[in-house]
Structure 1
Amino acid sequence: MEVRIGNRIAEIELIEKDGNIVRLTIDGIEYEVDVTMAENGACSILHDGKSYNAELIRSDNGKNYKVNTLFSSYNVDIVDTKAKYLRLRKKEDERQEDKIVSPMPGKIVKIPVKVGDFVAAGDTVAVIEAMKMQSNYKVTSDCYIKDILVNEGDSVNSDQQLILLDLNVVNA
């Protein structure tokens, strides 16, 4: 399934669930976590010997959540197959912005592009690590890399611009 966290899109697949132990992949990277849910929406996650706590507030339609952690809040949308199909059909409503922005603080792990590169819709342009998890940031439309404002190894803040894009792509 596809999950949208702010401007970031992650592909998540549940591999196995046995009690509280959950094995899943996020953008192709496998994780094993111990997840405990309380009735009030509180969630405790254990991963690699570290504990994380979050509050999940579910919307009426059950596909959108507000996730509150100790220091941040995130809007999370679960995109089911039908919604993904409709979004692709209405591409003009889902226009790529002219920049890639970090939705959360983290560290730049990889920038697999350089200024002037052409990138196609779905290509990863930055990888950020936050809370020991890596997130791939992809473009949703064909474009060129206009400028890269960060370097691999840099720490970034929430809402910090990472990459500027040139959306004026002429198809031959």
Structure 2
Amino acid sequence: MEIHIGKRTAEIELLSKEGNNVRLTIDGKEFEVDVVMAENGACSILHNGKSYNAELIRSGNGKSYKVNTHFSSYNVDIVDTKAKYLRMKKKEEVRQDDKVVSPMPGKVVKIPVNEGDLVAAGETVLVIEAMKMQSNYKVTSDCYIKEILVNEGDSVNSDQQLILLDLNVEK
């Protein structure tokens, strides 16, 4: 997920959670922390033997928080992944690019095309699952599948090239 902390943007991925122990990445760097949340919004985080305390105040929409620490306050916004995906998809539909790129991390569920196939505008070329939701990736113009860079079952990262396309199709 993408979060905005003041003017900074960070990409956060939850790797695992067992009780209070959380493994996550922040901009690709892995962290292991012990997190305890109290009912009043207080949060205690233990990382590498150091303790950090914060107060989380949630806004009405549940996607924005004010985070108060002992010395500072931060406005934190969680970017709605579905809205981000739809924004990116809408931009892609304006003009077909010569590649299909993943807008978010996920897992390749299905590749219904093969290299060399001629696909028509609107045809699905890849299905990715992210956050328990499957997304169909479609081309917006007729093209050939030049090269498939992933396999079914592969995990993919945000902005990773998945399929290369040849847009030179005679009409």
1:68 — aligned with what? 79
Deviations 1:58-100 (A, max 9, x none): xxxxxxxx9615x9992644x9xxxx9xx9xxxxx92200000
Q: CA deviation at 1:154?
A: 0.3
Runs of 4+ in 1 over 6 A off after TM superposition: none
Q: In terms of Rg, which structure is larger?
A: 2
The residue type paired with residue 146 of structure 2 is K
Give the distance between the partners of 1:72 and 1:136, measured in 2 at CA.
13
| Structure 1 spans left out of the alignment, 5+ residues | 1-37, 43-53, 56-65, 88-92
- TM-score, length of structure 1 as denominator length: 0.51
Among all aligned residue pairs of Structure 1 and Structure 2, give the percentage whose two residues are the same amino acid: 67
Query: Would you say the 8 A contact 2:85–2:103 is kept in 1?
Result: no
Taking a change above 3 Å as real, the CA distance of residues 72 and 137 of structure 1, as seen in their structure-2 partners, is closer
Task: Kindly provide the amino acid, as one letter, of the partner of residue 168 in structure 2.
Answer: N
**1:124 aligns to what?**
124
In the TM superposition, 1:33-112 aligns within 5 A as 40-42=60-62, 54=63, 68=79, 74=84, 76-77=86-87, 94-112=94-112
The offset of 1:40, in angstroms, is 3.3
Q: Whose RCO is larger (CA < 8 A, sep 6+)?
A: 1
* SS of match in other structure, 1:137: strand
Count of residues paired in the alignment: 100
Aligned-pair Cα RMSD in Å: 3.3
Q: TM-score, normalised by structure 2?
A: 0.51
**1:24-52 CA deviation, whole Å, 9 max, x = no partner?**
xxxxxxxxxxxxxx97332xxxxxxxxxx
Q: Does 1:156 align with 2:156?
A: yes
